[in-house]
Every structure is written in structure tokens, then in C-alpha cells.
Amino acid sequence: MVLLWALFLALLAGAHAELPGCKIRVTSAALDLVKQEGLRFLEQELETITIPDVYGAKGHFYYNISDVRVTQLHLISSELHFQPDQDLLLNISNASLGLHFRRQLLYWFLYDGGYINASAEGVSIRTGLQLSQDSSGRIKVSNVSCEASVSKMNMAFGGTFRRMYNFFSTFITSGMRFLLNQQICPVLYHAGTVLLNSLLDTVPVRSSVDDLVGIDYSLLKDPVVSNGNLDMEFRGAFFPLKEDNWSLPNRAVEPQLEDDERMVYVAFSEFFFDSAMESYFQAGALQLTLVGDKVPSDLDMLLRATYFGSIVLLSPTVINSPLKLKLEATSPPRCTIKPSGTTISITASVTITLAPPMLPEVELSKMIMEGRLSAKL
């Protein structure tokens, strides 16, 4: 009984789930471009690492390592791929970090100081980003996982007390390696959950297309990740700007994505185009008026000969009156997508008038044609 009830609730939830008007698939073929940008961002964030001072004493020798900062990241092997449980997974192995710090040594009354370069070798970083949908429909980083390690530190001391520094190098490098291991993951977690999300928060999910119509391309659910693809479902709905809360029910067939050879695929349903055309209809944009020279000459001659010939014979003074042609959709157009092509169906009225130049505009002839005009794309 419990199982049947759970199945009923699942079916009920699926029945009320909003269908997407647009789907986007990002394949593993696009990850090379993403990786390059990600590695640049990673290098910038690693350079923000701050390491506490390393200091100590051995007998009459006192040492202090301060102002430690990361200067650059040297990569040997890196890999970015999709992973179903963590969405995006970045693996960096056998990398190195350049370091720059200040050294100080005091022995009795003798003092030595200066700056030195060092390197962290055998750096391994494994970090994963989990993507989800926030309350406004934006994509966000919901979780960051991280594992990082530094296998060894290399630094070459010089100067008067070089041998003394080398004597203490084991203590110094061990302390710095320990601190560096503890700093990498917190920096990456902050970069993912704070910096990246701050950037994603600036991406609008509703924006205007022109002065009449806007579009809503918010996410409808969390991205779905497989071993080779990342699929996202968007509302893909247009709306009149004057009626911000207006919406059109989506009864179209859900768009399908099947290929994964190229970097990015985009699929639209009939609803995507229907909402656009209905929005423009609601905004009063689906009408066209041509007067005088704006009417093509061949059409002008045909209309005058066909519909206004008898009037011209009765009143020759109107022969040079400008022709006015008004085309207006009487109902929202509809789109039909089939394997053979896309058809847009429009029901419209056509009004044709003659306007004598020295008289108030009078309608001399009016023809209303109602039917379905099809344009095959």
C-alpha cells in the first residue's frame, strides 16, 4: 500500500512538472575550453594563499620565515571531466607552486635577512563542483569537494648563513609544507561557493528582447550529469513586457537531445516559438501598414486594377490617390515542428483603402480575408 501511494505521488508530481521550452547539452568535447579558463581562475586563486610565519629556535639560532606568497602554478598534468555524483571534477597531478618569502636568521648578535624563492613540488589537487538550481532559476555551485597534497618543498638558501639555513631547512620546509597543505582546499572552497556564485548571480534569467517582449530562460531543475554530458532544462518562454506576470501554458512536446559529438547542442520545442509569437501578438506588434510609395509598385497596380477599377471609372479624380494596405493578425500564430520542416500558421485580415489626397481619408473598398496562411521554413 505504501509503495502504491509513493508511486501515485511520483506520477502526480510528474504530471504537474513544468515542461522545458529549451534544452542545452554541453558535451565532454567542450571541456577543453572550460578547463583552460578554469585553470587560469585556479592559478589566480592559489596566488591569494596566505601562509602564517614559520619561526623557531635551536640553541642560539633563531629563524623566521615570513611574507610567504604563491607566485605561479606550473602544470604538468590536468584533466577535467564530468562525473555523475560531483558534476565537474578537476584532477591536477605532479604540479608545482612557485613561492616567494622573506628569511631572517639571528645568531647571538649576528643578523641575516633577505628574500628567497622556493617551490612546492609534487602538488596534487582533486576538486569537484556540484551544480544545482537556485530559487530564482540560476545555476549555482552548491558544493565543492577538495583533496590536496604537497609532496616536498625545495628552497636554496644563500648568503653568510647558508650552511645554518640548510641545517634548519628540514624544520622550515616541513612546517611550510604542512601549512600549504592546509591552505589549498579552503581557498578553492571559497572560490567555488563564494566567488563563482557571486559571478553567476549577475547572470539574468529574465531579460528584454526589445521594447515589447522579454524572455525567461531560468532553469527548471538541477542540471543532469552523465559521464559524457551535462544537460540543462530551461523555461524558454517569452512574455509581453507590459504584462510581466503573463504566461502561456506549455502543452508542446518536450524537446529531445540525442547527439553528443559536438561541443554544445540546443533543442527548442514548439512552445518556445509559440510563446514568442503570442507575446508579440499581445503587445500589438503583429500588424503592418503600408501607405503610398511603401506599397510595392506591382502590388499597387494589381490592387488598383482588381478592386478599384470601377471606382476610378466613376470618379477619375481618385486615380492618383495613395493606396493604404493594412495587414493584421487576428489571433496568435502557431508553430508546428515536424521532421519534414517547420510550419507557422497565421490567421490575418487585410484592409485596403484609397485615401484621396485633398479629402479626409475614406474607406473606398475593404476586403477581409480570413484563413490560414502558411509559411514553410
- Residue 269 near residue 22 (C-beta atoms within 8 A): yes
Distance CA 169, CA 324 (A): 92
What are 293-332's pLDDT values in tens digits? 787 877 777 777 776 665 555 555 556 677 788 889 999 9
Where along the chain do its domains lie?
30-201, 206-283, 287-375
In terms of CATH architecture, what is 30-201?
A: Super Roll (3.15)
Q: Computed over its alpha carbons, how large is the radius of gyration of the chain?
A: 35
Q: Give residue-wise pLDDT tens across range 259-277.
A: 888 999 999 999 999 999 9
Q: What distance, in Å, lies between the first and last C-alpha atoms of the chain? A: 52
pLDDT in tens, 221-271: 999 999 889 999 999 999 999 887 778 888 888 988 888 889 999 999 999
| Integer Cα distance of 225 and 139 in angstroms | 13
Contact between residue 246 and residue 240 where contact means Cβ atoms under 8 Å apart:
yes
Instruction: Please give the model's pTM, rounded to 2 decimal places.
Output: 0.75
Listed residue (348, 347, 352) closest to 302, CA to CA: 352
